[in-house]
Amino acid sequence: MTASATYPFTAVVGMDDMRLGLLLNAISPSIGGVLVRGEKGTAKTTTVRALSALLPQVVTVPGCRFSCDPAAPDPTCPDGPHADGPGEARPAHMAELPVGASEDRLVGALDIERALGEGVKAFEPGLLAAAHRGVLYVDEVNLLGDHLVDSLLDAAATGVSSVEREGVSVRHASRFLLVGTMNPEEGELRPQLLDRFGLTVEVAASREPDERVEVVRRRLAFDEDPAAFAAKWSAEEETLRERIAAARALLPSVRLGDGALRRIAAVCAGFEVDGMRADIVTARTASALAAWAGRTDVLTEDVRQAALLSLPHRRRRNPFDAPGLDEDKLDEILRQFEDDEPEPEPEGPDDGGPGDGGPEGGGPDGGGQQPPQDGPGSDGTPPDVPQQRQEPAESGTGPESGSGSESAEAPESAPASGEAPEAPAVAASAPFRTRRLDVPGLGEGSDGRRSRARTAHGRTTGSRRPRGALSRLHLAATVQAAAPHQRARGRSGPGLLVRRDDLREAVREGREGNLVLFVVDASGSMAARKRMSAVKGAVLSLLLDAYQRRDKIGMITFRGAGAEVALPPTSSVDAGAARLEKLPTGGRTPLAAGLLRAHEVLRVERLRDPSRRPLLVVVTDGRATGGPEPLVRAARAARLLAGEGTASVVVDCEQGPVRLGLAAELGRELRGPVVTLDELRADSISALVHTVRTTHTRRAA
């Protein structure tokens, strides 16, 4: 396929919500972009690229790297000031931000050496400049660093990108249609970042054989002869392009009356969304829907469709909440305003309703479903999403010992014919705020909020010679390095002559995210109903803590004859919560198998991501009953992990008046602290006492 070939937007099969969200942003960029959530292989990238080809051409100042409009040039443009003169027309650009991009690649790079040595403000534009008056596409936006996402969304909200370093400032306009895509299985965006996207849509591959056949047929035809395929759809593309232009022209005439505003306010209040951004985005989306349908009045159907696009991602209060919107509740709220509905205007023959999701039909082969980029495509059916976590079966949140017929412990020993029957899964107790567990020492992993690390952002702790291009100047250290050489360099008057060897970059310390690997004992000794509910509640709390601290997580469970990886290392804590909820219990306690499996998982992860340090959290009562010499083998496995420097924490789940202290023994072998379920709580008295004692011991040492 040639670089200039673009799959036609009108040839996309299905994906109605995604196509509609993109078209509405093309009509009204002030909506704030669209976040596309969906499984891999659903051709999200292909659809976004197809949209960029439909956008109207832009007229720019000749030679301006920042795409200034000659009719209203940016007064702060680094390439300005611009003289009056004719502009040049070009297609709207689509800039793509890769996951591994640096901050300089996004916002641009300032040449600090030339700024200090020559007094020249030399600025190399980044992707925010390239996307101005076009499209900025961010694939896997949930995997971007927080500082990149913050810069990206700040520019999207303000329309301005700023680069400020050591007193040198560059500002330029940056207004673009923002499109982000993500696979929820790889982790969620923080709620405050989700809120910055105007709309969100869910996509999934079609399960209908006929639709999948059509996706494959069109994709193969496009790959065989892109030019001929595009020509086949050129009439539909031109019709859609004209309709977008007409809707843009009509948008300023759309009337958003008090009745529509009351509906929007009632819906946003009824779903208890935070802040006022939801109301504003819903209003802009409803207006764009009316313009797309060729109307100048916003109807109830516009408000309803706008709410379905703008509110689902704003209702998530924590990563365990299922996305989506209760449509029955939405209709109930809107029914209160049935008497205020304005009379709809007659529609023209080419006008479509707000729910048509884009062009109907799509050409000789029928209407629009999208081809996948790498495989089968999808229809507009929402993907399966995690169900909201059920309320705990037991009251209370603290650790409790089980008793009674339902809470009796599962037998530790298995009959000769096999293992003891497993106990039914129980719900986790309510999560709580946990103490911060961290990895000792100073790391260099990805930005996060858990352990100390050298990072690009944080407090300055020192300076060093640059390693490669200078990124963060340490001004005082640079002056100190240059000052002794001024006489030798012929400088006798005021001012400072700085050379490259004098430059020093700042060394900063912040916090990193870690890989938190849970090793959870699911054996019979842990199977008491109330006890396991408390254990699951503790692990759920740690999962929530890992989400807030930007960690990756993984989960290993051991019971019966061995251990298994319940969840490979991932950024999706809701996937961890789902695995935890269904965790079965019962059988023997192969503690050594669990530790050895953890050792293997960590070995592989070190190869994949050497800079991310692991934190092993072993949740157990310390008993070991599986295999020959179980305690000896468990101690040997623990020493293996400790010998490699793995930071570990043991959560002691032992209960009752008679305690064996085996979890404490395990902690000594792992060379890590041991905390009880109660001490794990950040607000408990025992946790405070434990913290004071630990601090006192460290100071004494």
Which sequence positions are flagged as catalytic?
A: 277
Task: Work out the number of other CB atoms within 10 angstroms of the CB of residue 521.
Answer: 29
- Termini Cα distance of the chain: 66
Query: Would you state the structure tokens that stand for residue 185, as one six-digit string?
Result: 């299985």
**Helices then strands (H, E): number in the chain?**
21, 21
693 in Cβ contact with 685 (< 8 Å): no
Q: In whole angstroms, how far apart are CA 51 and each of 48, 205, 657?
A: 5, 20, 67
Residue (of 248, 341, 299) closest to 24 by Cα position: 248
- Rounded to whole angstroms, the Cα distance separating 175 from 157 reads 9
Query: Would you state the structure tokens that stand for residue 361, as one six-digit string?
Result: 């039909």
Residue (of 583, 546, 529, 547) closest to 410 by Cα position: 529
188 in Cβ contact with 35 (< 8 Å): no
Cβ-proximal residues to 257 (8 Å cutoff; 6+ apart), any chain: 297, 298, 342
Give the torsion through C-alpha atoms of 447, 452, 458, 461, to 10 deg.
Answer: -140
- Rounded to whole angstroms, the Cα distance separating 45 from 31 reads 20
Query: Would you state the structure tokens that stand for residue 377, as one six-digit string?
Result: 């495509």
Neighbour-count burial for 409-428, b at 16+ CB within 10 Å, e otherwise:
bbbbebeeeebbebbeebbb
Helix (H, G, I), strand (E, B) or coil at 149: helix
Tell me, what amino acid is at 383?
Answer: P
Query: Would you state the structure tokens that stand for residue 301, as one six-digit string?
Result: 């159907």
3-state secondary structure 422-444: CECCCCCCCCCCECCCCCCCCEC
- Rounded to whole angstroms, the Cα distance separating 487 from 251 reads 66
Q: In whole angstroms, how far apart are CA 10 and each of 212, 372, 507?
A: 17, 14, 52
CB-neighbour burial class of residue 93 (10 A; exposed 0-12, middle 13-18, buried 19+): buried
Query: Would you state the structure tokens that stand for residue 659, as one six-digit string?
Result: 């305690």
538 in Cβ contact with 651 (< 8 Å): yes
| Residue 461, phi then psi, degrees to nearest 5 | -115, -5
3-state secondary structure 91-126: CCCEEEECCCCCHHHHHCEECHHHHHHCCCCCEECC
589 in Cβ contact with 558 (< 8 Å): yes
Residue (of 281, 302, 280, 301) closest to 200 by Cα position: 281
CA angle 173, 472, 489 (to 5 degrees): 110
Using the structure block, give the residue that is written with the tokens 């595009």.
230
Question: What secondary structure letter does DSSP report for 26?
Answer: H
- Rounded to whole angstroms, the Cα distance separating 253 from 10 reads 27
566 in Cβ contact with 555 (< 8 Å): yes
